[in-house]
Amino acid sequence: MSHDLDQRLLEAHARDDRMALVQLYKDASSVSNSEDAKYFYLTHAYIFALDTGHPMASELHALLKAAGRES
Amino acid sequence: MTETSYLNDVRKPVDTANGLPNAHYVDQTVFEEERQSLLFSQWAGLAVAADVPEVGDAKPIDFLGMPLLLVRDRDEKVRVYQNICRHRGMILVEEPRKIEGAIRCPYHSWCYGLDGRLVSTPHVGGPGQNVHEAIDKKQLGLIEVRSHIWMDVVFVNIDGQAADFDDIHADLIKRWSEFDQPLYHGGADSYFSLDVKTNWKLAVENYCESYHLPWVHPGLNSYSRLEDHYNIELAGKYSGQGTYVYRQLRGVNEEVFPDFENLSEQWDEGAEYVAVYPNVLLGVQRDHTFAIILEPKSLDRTVEHIHLYYSQPKTDEGMRAKNAQLWKTVFEEDVFVVEGMQRGRNAVGFDGGRFSPVMDSPTHCFHDWCAERILEDRSAKQAAE
């Protein structure tokens, strides 16, 4: 993960901007090198999408489910 | 005196009965016993549906130490859950708020739908692995507490063992069937609370009877005299009082609140005030109703939550404020009585007192109901030992 993305994630957490965290964690997932890291971040994106009622929740769920990471 | 014989004295006819003795007001052990026998095993008032008016509204409520969560789900149904995560028992919601999506546990982020379903268990099978064969989400939804709404009051049966609310309260539901129509909460100006240093039962007892009205509420004497009232009581069910001379609140231009629809003549000048055992006090009049939820905070502290309802969604703001103030004045006049009786229960040897056979029977009806419940539970406990 780039320093910039890491910084933006920390800032979003600091201001409890959970809507922003959905996209930021999705971005983190897309630049991860390992499978576990990819789905770790994608899980976080999905959970914050669930939490906030974000429209990407069903898309993220589908990605996780397709990878056998979610039911 | 055996452990329970005094309760048989409470259950005698009103002219020979004693009231519940001191221990039922000042003994922590008895308070905890009554929590089970009189509140958790019955249909106790918890809140009003108007506390969660919109989909997604969630209100945590600590009910006698039990963490509960009142929510309005996506189907607009009001539900009550235990306010804890099925993972580590963490409190889920700390403050009243709107749930935009899921109820997310702040500890490990297990997520629940407003319908109680466990939706996701992040990393439960390791990083990025959100399923595990040992975790069956279908079995781990929020624990729903049995609830029932009547007159907008959310009643809960914590132990889940009581008969259906509609069966237990069939007589009162029938008695007040004319008020089975939409009730509109007046909003923020139609709610107030009183924090009173008394055991919750004394608030019920005082509410039930009209005997005290001319002494404690002298302002009523000019138009609502003692002889204008009648007792309401059905053994083992409910009790209260009624009046034949209800007078509508009038504004500066003689305006009144709109009436509920299709009421019979009885309600032209009639009004009734009933204690729905254990802890809900209701009042019905032609143009408004009210509900008082008694929240037992401790042995000798009760918060009274008072909500006023009207027949129409929009009513005059000034009139509502005036009406709320009127009732607040009346209920505040009762505070010194229930607090005084509570302090009086520290007088060693007080036998629970004697009732007026004529004027106190609604209060005795409540004591009889309490004694019967406690006797049943003590007998069951003894039989199990």
B74-103 mean pLDDT:
98
Beta-sheet strands, E only, within B49-96: 57-63, 66-72, 78-82
* Separation between Cα atoms, residue B315 and residue B186, nearest integer Å: 8
pLDDT exceeds cutoff 50 at B2? no
B106-120 mean pLDDT:
98
Judge: B100–A71 Cβ closer than 8 Å, yes or no: no
- Alpha helices by DSSP H, listed for chain B, are 5-10, 23-26, 28-34, 165-168, 170-175, 200-208, 213-216, 317-333, 335-344, 361-384
pLDDT exceeds cutoff 50 at B316? yes
Domain boundaries in chain B? 23-43+169-374, 47-149
B170-185 mean pLDDT:
98
- Give the residue, A64 or B214, on which the prediction is more confident: A64
CA distance A31 to chain B (A): 15
Search chain B and give the residue with CA nearest A36: B128
pLDDT exceeds cutoff 90 at B273? yes
Judge: B101–A69 Cβ closer than 8 Å, yes or no: no
CB within 8 Å of chain A, chain B residues 112-151: 119-120, 122-123, 126-131, 137
* Separation between Cα atoms, residue B212 and residue B226, nearest integer Å: 9
DSSP B66: E
B53-60 mean pLDDT:
98
- Mean predicted lDDT score pLDDT of chain B: 95
pLDDT exceeds cutoff 70 at B1? no
Judge: B129–A69 Cβ closer than 8 Å, yes or no: yes
From chain B, the residues in CB contact with A43 under 8 A are 122-123, 128, 130
Tokens of B378: 């003590």
From chain A, the residues in CB contact with B133 under 8 A are none
For the purposes of burial, counting CB atoms within 10 Å of the CB of A50, is it exposed (0-12), middle (13-18) or buried (19 or more)? buried
Q: Domain B23-43+169-374, CATH 3.40.1390.30 — does that match?
A: no
Tokens of B69: 């969560």
Options 2.60.40.10, 2.102.10.10, 3.30.930.10, 3.30.70.1070; CATH for B47-149 is 2.102.10.10
| pLDDT value of residue B223 | 67
* Separation between Cα atoms, residue B359 and residue B365, nearest integer Å: 12
| pLDDT value of residue B60 | 98
User: What are the φ and ψ backbone dihedral angles of B291, each rounded to 5 degrees?
Assistant: -130, 130
Q: What does the pLDDT look like over B335-348, one tens digit per residue?
A: 999 999 999 999 99
Q: What does the pLDDT look like over A1-40, one tens digit per residue?
A: 788 999 999 999 999 999 999 999 999 999 998 999 999 9
CA distance A7 to chain B (A): 22
DSSP B217: -
Tokens of B152: 């907008």
User: What are the φ and ψ backbone dihedral angles of A11, each rounded to 5 degrees?
Assistant: -65, -40
CA distance A55 to chain B (A): 10
* Separation between Cα atoms, residue B305 and residue B298, nearest integer Å: 15
Q: How confident is the model at residue B213 (pLDDT cuts 50, 70, 90)?
A: confident
